[in-house]
Amino acid sequence: MRASIIIVTYGQRAVTERCLDSVRAALGDRLGRDWELVLVDNDSPDDTPSLLQAWSDVATVRLLGENRNFAGGCNAGAEVARGEVLVFLNNDTEVPPGALETLVDQALEPGVTIAGPRLLYPDGTLQHAGVAFFNHHELGVPVPHHIFLRNDGELPAARASYELDCVSAACLAVRASAFHAGRGFDTGFRNGMEGVDLCLRIRVSGGRIVYRGDVVVIHHEGRSRGQGAELSATPERRATMAHNTSRLMSRWAGSLEQDDEFAARVWDAVLERGAPLRSIPGANVALVGQPSGIGPAAAEARGLLAGLSELGCSVAAADLPPARVRARLTGPLASTLSTARQREIAKCGWMIHVPSGACDAWPIGTTSLIRLGSARTALPVADASEVWASCPAVARELIESGLNSSRIRVVAPPIQLPARGAGGAGILAILPTHDSGAAQSVIDALRSTAGVTPVRLLPTVRTRGLEAEIAERLNGVELLDPCSDEQRFAQLAASADVVLATDPSDHYERHALVAAATGAAVLTTKPNGPAVSVLGPGIACGTGDLPTALAALAAEPGDRSERAGLVAKSCGPQALARHLTGPVARTPSMATR
């Protein structure tokens, strides 16, 4: 049999029932026939065993006479499972059609042993995008953390596929032969860290572990123990977590190091080494989002920070959720951000929210402004004094959703105006490697210029196998490293004749606008996005199919000065200053501008 799904339960019948229903909906009549289902109960105190027995027509059911915890229950299920791949699935998950098949196929790829998906909380934020090791300031050793925890579930960096050391055991596909050779999960762990330990043992033995960000599973984390995240606050749970960490460190501390090289290679990022001390008083504006992070919303937050600082505002910046993976910044903006993160935030009279994930820790009120590149947000926009939409199309969507138009301003993305460039280096194409369909469209378009125009590819994420794929499909193209810093990106764009910026997840289209500010011709596929709003459809958006539009623009890139002037007019500091009214207390330096 190709795969066995192993689900371990302890109480929480309703939670398990929801999980099983999702598995049945995903696999249909293949469940119990092509896919083995193994259900293990850890001596539940409720009627969960009767639920599992009701599934005995399509499942192998093991009712244990004691609670062996997650590790022991999983091992008991693996003892009777017959699949070539074992899929360990928490009973507090929900799986969509196609997810399990993709993970099993991935685990069976030559050289690969384990595969895991992107896990989302029910509210759409990220619970898991792989595990990385971060230096712990108290323990003095690297400890495992979920990457991008509580970030926006659609964060491009988390939607890609890459190899790393660990994925979550909440949904994990592993070759049965490797699992048994390693003697399964270590039962010395108590409902935590056993998955990290298993993955590290697999890695040491030579197996590769692949995170599949294109596969999504919903995880009601903690519900299998009954209280969700609240349970982690109990003294008993804290003691258990300390035990698990101690056991993991006693085995692996000497072999671990912070995953700096991994973060730099995959995202052009650095890992957080501790929160700054807020010791600088006098801030009058708070910027809440993730200005230290990576991704479109983080870049927009930094653009606002730079613009407000240039206009004389004293800005205090806060990363919410905490940015463990941070953009690798250079130049003046790095210093501006560092200072803003040290400023005291509590007494700021005005707050700008740039949502980038879980934002409910800061209340929205009459001194709040929400910045949106998309009408999709979990924030209560009706409670804010103003909402800044990145373009007219977003403003219209907000009005159609019921928001009073008097609260909405259309504010183009603020850009630190770079030096204009002379071009001459051909096409610079942003390759959205986190979105296979969009990436394919870019590759197809570039084939139309093959051998005619020099091409440089800038991936959003360095995904596994990217170099080999590009060498095979676009021979002769220069593959660059990912770039999380707009100042370095501006240098690349300044030397380009055309910048292809067609990432559908870049709601602010900052790449296109920064490129146009250097004078480069830009091509987008959003007819109503910020770039078209600033530059006009004849300059920013190609007509017809993408290959034809790119070939035409490469042949005649147009006037560099005109494009740079349009960006300066709509996105420069004076354009931002015109919108700083109402709740904004202008500083004396701003008043003179």
Rounded to whole angstroms, how far apart are CA atoms 336 and 305? Answer: 8
Q: With cut-offs at 50, 70 and 90, classify the pLDDT of residue 349.
A: confident
Q: pLDDT tens for residues 398-427?
A: 999 999 999 999 999 999 999 999 999 999
Q: CA angle 366-367-368, nearest 5°?
A: 90
Res 359: pLDDT: 62
Domain boundaries, the chain: 3-130+166-258, 286-410, 427-571
CA 117, 120, 124, 129 dihedral sign is negative
Instruction: Tell me the CATH architecture of domain 3-130+166-258.
Output: Alpha-Beta Complex (3.90)
Q: With cut-offs at 50, 70 and 90, classify the pLDDT of residue 137.
A: confident
Query: What percentage of the chain has pLDDT greater than the value 90?
Result: 81
Rounded to whole angstroms, how far apart are CA atoms 70 and 88? Answer: 10
Burial of 353 (0-12, 13-18, 19+ CB in 10 A): buried
Rounded to whole angstroms, how far apart are CA atoms 415 and 428? Answer: 19
E strand residue ranges, 367-421? 368-372, 386-389, 408-410
Burial of 365 (0-12, 13-18, 19+ CB in 10 A): exposed
Q: Is residue 488 within 8 Å of residue 333, measured between CB atoms?
A: no
The three-state secondary structure class of 479 is: strand
State which amino acid sits at residue 501.
A
Whole-angstrom CA distances from 96 to 7, 27, 81, 220, 329 are 16, 9, 23, 14, 38
* Contacts of the segment 51-54: beta carbons below 8 A, 24+ positions apart: 51/13, 51/16, 51/17, 51/20, 52/9, 52/16
Q: With cut-offs at 50, 70 and 90, classify the pLDDT of residue 132.
A: very high
Rounded to whole angstroms, how far apart are CA atoms 384 and 40? Answer: 49
pLDDT for 274 beyond 90: no
Q: With cut-offs at 50, 70 and 90, classify the pLDDT of residue 448.
A: confident
Res 354: pLDDT: 94
Q: H or E element: which one contains 99?
A: helix 99-107
Mean pLDDT of 289-296: 95
Q: pLDDT tens for residues 460-499?
A: 999 999 999 999 999 889 999 999 999 999 999 999 999 9
Rounded to whole angstroms, how far apart are CA atoms 125 and 121? Answer: 5
Mean pLDDT of 252-280: 91
Q: pLDDT tens for residues 60-91?
A: 999 999 999 999 999 999 999 999 999 999 99
Rounded to whole angstroms, how far apart are CA atoms 589 and 593? Answer: 7
Pairing mode, if any, of strands 126-128 and 112-120? antiparallel
Q: What would the two tokens of residue 243 be?
A: 């035990």
Res 543: pLDDT: 58
Q: What would the two tokens of residue 153 be?
A: 């579930």
Tell me, what DSSP letter sits at residue 60? E
Rounded to whole angstroms, how far apart are CA atoms 268 and 458? Answer: 11
**Residues 201-227: b if buried by 16+ CB within 10 A, e if exposed:** bbbeeebbbbbbbbbbbbbbbbbbbee
Beta bridge partners of 386: 369
Q: What would the two tokens of residue 305 be?
A: 């920070």
Question: How is domain 427-571 classified at the CATH fold level?
Answer: Rossmann fold (3.40.50)
pLDDT for 507 beyond 80: yes
pTM of the model: 0.93
Alpha helices, DSSP H, located in 319-384: 332-342
Rounded to whole angstroms, how far apart are CA atoms 243 and 550? Answer: 58
Q: Is residue 224 within 8 Å of residue 92, measured between CB atoms?
A: yes
Res 227: pLDDT: 42
**Residues 431-441: b if buried by 16+ CB within 10 A, e if exposed:** bbbbbeebbeb
Q: Is residue 347 within 8 Å of residue 284, measured between CB atoms?
A: no
Res 413: pLDDT: 98
Res 216: pLDDT: 98
